[in-house]
Structure 1
Amino acid sequence: VKDEILGKSGRKIPSMLDYQVHIEGGSMYNTPPVFSIYTAMLNLRWLKAKGGVAEIEKENKAKAFALYTEIDRNPLFKGTCAVEDRSRMNVCFVMQNPELEKPFLKFVEENGVEGLKGHRSVGGFRASIYNALPITSVHTLVELMQIFAEKHQ
């Protein structure tokens, strides 16, 4: 930033956006969010170690494909949005028979799958398959969906 333009915005701006204030404060007008910066660094290192963005994208596509394939194949389940609008991070679905939702949720929780219950205003299920979730966890859920279907068809 050129010194001659500092403090000459021509209008009142918040001090956080005024470079003159930062220069006068030795570039430390505020305390940097150290913990946020640290956790971002850890996440970026992890991402790099996994093979970078391209590899994570490949894994995320595989996770979503496996779960959506089972939802579409299994007659007990039904997706809640159009195919072209499906999320790769939060897979939402319901059961064809709503009376089976509580037993299914209990079954998966008894088998180690947590946090599958959908939003309280929407119902159904939401499988959050974020970057850090391994594909083996998705395979476990798919297997449990198949076992439950065998018992309840």
Structure 2
Amino acid sequence: MLQRYLNGELHYSSYVIYPYDDDITIRWVTDILVPKVERTLQKPQMFIKGRDDLGGETFIDEIVRGIMLSQTAIWIICPEFFQDKYCKMSANFAFHQLGSKNNLLVILENRFERYSVPKHFANMMHPNVGVARVRYTDNEEGLSLFWAKLDKFLPAWSSINTN
């Protein structure tokens, strides 16, 4: 496995980071985000915890492997994101691996409030460091813009190794 990502092979369009104990976000990822991206927009598969992890890996190994095999990372910012150990570790590693390549997207969930972001993460999420941001909304016009921005951000099949 190490040799694959040392060779630069990518297998996922994006590593998706979100708290796994937040039922609202889990349902949004599995019922809305994944089907829309992988079926409707026809983008390469995203790395989703519980679906794409190998099992038996340590917490850290799963994060490293998933991010190293992904071209981009998506942080789904919801109220629970900054209290979740997995989110904080994954987001930090993704920022250091992908941030300088402008391959990070922050999705601000509609329950998110700006004041809840710790300073460390606020600095990493700032547009001046090359991190794209988009807010998920329930209104029709906003949704159209959200999916268009996500479509533009995610890589095409030609940049992903499907072997």
TM-score, normalised to structure 1, is 0.28
Which of 1 and 2 has higher RCO (CA within 8 Å, sep 6+)?
2
Find the structure with the greater CA-based Rg.
1
| Higher percent of residues as strand | 2
TM-score, normalised to structure 2, is 0.26
| Higher percent of residues as helix | 1
